[in-house]
Amino acid sequence: MQKTADVGYSIAVLSWDQETYMPEKGAEFRAQQISTLSGVFHKMITDDTLGKWLEELSKDNSLNEKQKKNVELTKETYDKQKKFTTEFVELMSKTVSECFQAWQSAKEKNDFSIYQPKLEKLVELKKQECEILGYKDHPYDAQLNEYEKGATAKDLEKLFVDVRKELVPFVQKIKQAKQVEDSFFYKTYDKDKQWSFGLDLLKQMGYDFDAGRQDRSSHPFTTSFNPLDVRVTTRVSENDISEMIWSCIHEGGHGLYEQGLPAEEYGLPLSEAISLGIHESQSRLWENNVGRSLAYWKKNFPIVQFYFPDQLKDVKAEDFYKAMNKVEPSLIRTSADELTYHFHVMIRFEIEKALFEGTIKVADLPAYWNAKYKEYLGVDVPSDTKGVLQDIHWSHGSFGYFPTYSIGSFYAAQFFDKAKKENPSLTTEIEKGEMKNLLKWLREKVHIHGRFYTASELCEKITGEKLNFAYFMNYAKEKYGEIYEL
């Protein structure tokens, strides 16, 4: 399994390089290199000898609990990979790369018709994939399960009913309140100084620079080659300091999770993250619950002011805190505030579910999208580039991915509530920039377990109950009630 992991993580290194330092002309051969290694990986993970060993090991009663879990989860992966023929894997990979290219050009030219035929092909293939993978109630469940094991359309629907019922009227109330001022975010901020400030924030969180580094990329991401080498990236915009701050703290949260996974389990499931939802809970906890709190800026505002004395001379810590929590319905998901963000996810969830049950067709997407944005966010979509073409996910064949963003935020609120209850001085510690205890808590409760527990088992183990949207809503009401004087 370690040898298989060696190949898998080598692909990760090549992909990281592709997004950060690779010169443009290297793209074609890089794609070939990654595709070759993916083939090697698939061959290794579906090797018949491995299958035989796993069969034997799953009957071996001398294994301890952790070893049993490693065998059980590896066997799951093996059985799943075995369901796919090489022809199917290759066809999928080819279709995805065509679809991705069509999406790029469609987005650039604001022309959905370039994308439509390729996406139709990909959706058809994805529907076949659902049948190959298998599902109980809804074909879309097979897609969801790839990112959030055990998640179903039915459960998510229930969750989003709560979101609609509670969050929609709450945002309406905020819309009628006096808007907060955030124009100082958009002055000119020297990129190198921003970079230094971002590194300060990462160090303060406890990100280990001897086991990781930060680089620039056009879309911030985190990747890991093993827990002792975890890379984060960020983007820096000269005319919006908030962008660097958020991506730094967010990816830092992902990075801390990866650095906290047990290195001694390298190559085995217990060295891996549970699910995208739990991964996102770690990034959102740092980004929102910590990074968008007043306590956090009591410590860090003087630091950012030190870097940018002119730009921020008339600004107070409290103004900075309010600005970063400005709520305003908008067109673009990635720059949405932490409340209206979930409307963006809800729209994508409804569309994906409808696509997989066949109630809408790819051709209907732009009109359907625009109607939903009007309904949930009250905004008119001026172009498909700023509408249905904005996200990369579908062109990659990633259906069922979006809901994990919301699930992650809701887990984060529930975990953070528990962390505060177990450590009543947490807020005071954050005010002083002392993150040691919080990180230790996350390490012990979440990181060191790898995939030993499922997401919902872990949530129950930590908080005593299953995922409960009420924690997010209470957090939102308390914070935004104060900011907007509701």
Tallying the residues shown for the chain, one arrives at 486
| Per-residue b or e along 364-387, where b marks 16 or more CB atoms closer than 10 Å to that residue's CB | ebbebbbebbeebbebebeebbbb
Burial class (CB in 10 A: 0-12, 13-18, 19+), 264: exposed
Question: How would you classify residue 207: left for phi > 0, otherwise alpha for psi between -120 and 50, otherwise beta?
Answer: beta
Nearer to Co ion, 70 or 283 (CB): 283
Q: What is the DSSP letter of 215?
A: E
8 A C-beta contact, residue 355 and residue 402: no
Nearer to Co ion, 223 or 283 (CB): 283
φ, ψ of residue 267 to 5 degrees: the values are 90, -15
Least separation, in Å, of the C-beta of 274 and Co ion? Answer: 14
Nearby residues of 291 by Cβ (< 8 Å), 6 or more positions away: 245, 246, 249
Number of Cα atoms under 13 Å in the Cβ half of residue 216: 10
Nearer to Co ion, 283 or 325 (CB): 283
Nearer to Co ion, 283 or 289 (CB): 283
Least separation, in Å, of the C-beta of 222 and Co ion? Answer: 7
Nearer to Co ion, 204 or 283 (CB): 283
Active site residues: 251
Least separation, in Å, of the C-beta of 347 and Co ion? Answer: 19
Q: For the residues of 268-306, what is the DSSP string, one character each?
A: SGGGS-S-HHHHHHHHHIIIIIITTSHHHHHHHHHHHHH
Name the residue number minimizing CB distance to Co ion: 283
- Interaction site with Co ion (CB under 5 A): 283
